[in-house]
């Protein structure tokens, strides 16, 4: 059984595992989205089994293109479907996860803004208790981008997303 009281531990383990040195190449066979979703699914499946003792992780884990989200209604917005890249289902909550990345050799600020906007829209649907943007850094190190959180405007934006849209940025 996985409960939302375990969310903090889950996110901490996930961030460290995703930062562990295995990197998804920004270029390669298939799209980056396809590669990152497979990588994310495999890592989260292992975390659920090994760290939380979940016998069947697919009951709690949905990743687009890997397995279906059972029994949940899909939301339409402006005539098209709106779904996150991944969902972790707790017994008492559903958490959405968006996966995105910066481009190699370029600053990632514009991509971060776009990823937050998409995640924020998911927050407005009310379907999820919280939304996390796992943003993979390919230009510089995650610590370089962590420092930008100290800038006044960035603090204001991230605070707005957290307080009003239950949306959080996690740099990988």
CATH number reported for the structural domain that contains residue 138 in this entry: 3.40.1350
Closest CA to 22 of 37, 8, 41, 43: 43
Closest CA to 138 of 111, 160, 118, 113: 111
Question: For position 146, what pLDDT does the model report?
Answer: 72
Question: For position 23, what pLDDT does the model report?
Answer: 67
Question: For position 151, what pLDDT does the model report?
Answer: 81
* pLDDT string in tens for the chain (172-residue length): 788 899 999 999 999 998 886 667 666 778 888 888 988 999 999 999 999 999 999 999 999 988 876 655 567 888 888 889 999 999 889 999 999 987 655 557 788 899 999 999 999 999 899 999 999 887 666 666 677 777 889 999 999 999 999 999 998 8
Let me know the angle formed at the C-alpha of 99 by 8 and 141, rounded to the nearest 5 degrees: 80
Could you tell me the CA-to-CA distances from 114 to 22, 45, 102 in Å, in that order? 25, 27, 11
Question: For position 20, what pLDDT does the model report?
Answer: 80
Number of domains in the chain: 1
Question: For position 111, what pLDDT does the model report?
Answer: 86
Question: For position 142, what pLDDT does the model report?
Answer: 62
Question: For position 159, what pLDDT does the model report?
Answer: 95
Question: For position 148, what pLDDT does the model report?
Answer: 73
Q: Which residue has the tokens 């903090």?
A: 8
Question: For position 82, what pLDDT does the model report?
Answer: 83
Look up the domain containing 78 and give its range: 4-171
Q: Global pTM?
A: 0.88
Could you tell me the CA-to-CA distances from 73 to 68, 69, 77, 172 in Å, in that order? 12, 9, 13, 30
Collapse the DSSP code of 58 into the 3-class scheme (helix H, G, I; strand E, B; otherwise coil) and give the result: helix
Closest CA to 54 of 88, 99, 86: 88
Question: For position 7, what pLDDT does the model report?
Answer: 94
Instruction: Provide φ and ψ at 91, rounded to 5°.
Output: -60, -25
Please list, residue by residue across 79-94, b when 16 or more beta carbons sit within 10 angstroms of its beta carbon and e when fewer do: eeeebbbbbbbbeeeb
- Determine the Cα–Cα distance for residues 171 and 63; give it in Å rounded to an integer: 19
Q: Calculate the dihedral angle through the C-alpha atoms of 172, 47, 25, 128, rounding to the nearest 10 degrees.
A: -60
- Determine the Cα–Cα distance for residues 115 and 109; give it in Å rounded to an integer: 10
Question: For position 57, what pLDDT does the model report?
Answer: 94
Whether the Cβ atoms of residue 48 and residue 60 lie closer than 8 Å to each other: yes
């Amino acid at each position: 059984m996985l409960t939302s009281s375990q969310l903090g531990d889950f996110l901490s383990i996930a961030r460290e595992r995703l930062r562990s040195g295995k990197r998804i190449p920004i270029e390669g066979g298939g799209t980056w989205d396809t590669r990152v979703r497979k990588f994310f699914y495999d890592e989260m499946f292992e975390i659920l089994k090994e760290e939380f003792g979940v016998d069947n992780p697919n009951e709690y884990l949905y990743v687009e293109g890997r397995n279906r989200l059972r029994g949940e209604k899909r939301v339409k917005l402006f005539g098209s479907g709106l779904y996150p890249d991944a969902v972790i289902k707790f017994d008492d909550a559903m958490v959405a996860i968006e996966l995105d990345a910066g481009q190699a050799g370029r600053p990632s600020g514009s991509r971060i803004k776009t990823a937050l906007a998409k995640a924020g829209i998911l927050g407005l649907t009310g379907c999820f208790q919280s939304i996390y943007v796992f943003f993979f850094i390919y230009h510089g190190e995650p610590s370089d981008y962590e420092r930008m959180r100290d800038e006044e405007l960035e603090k204001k934006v991230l605070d707005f997303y957290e307080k009003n849209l239950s949306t959080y940025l996690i740099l990988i």
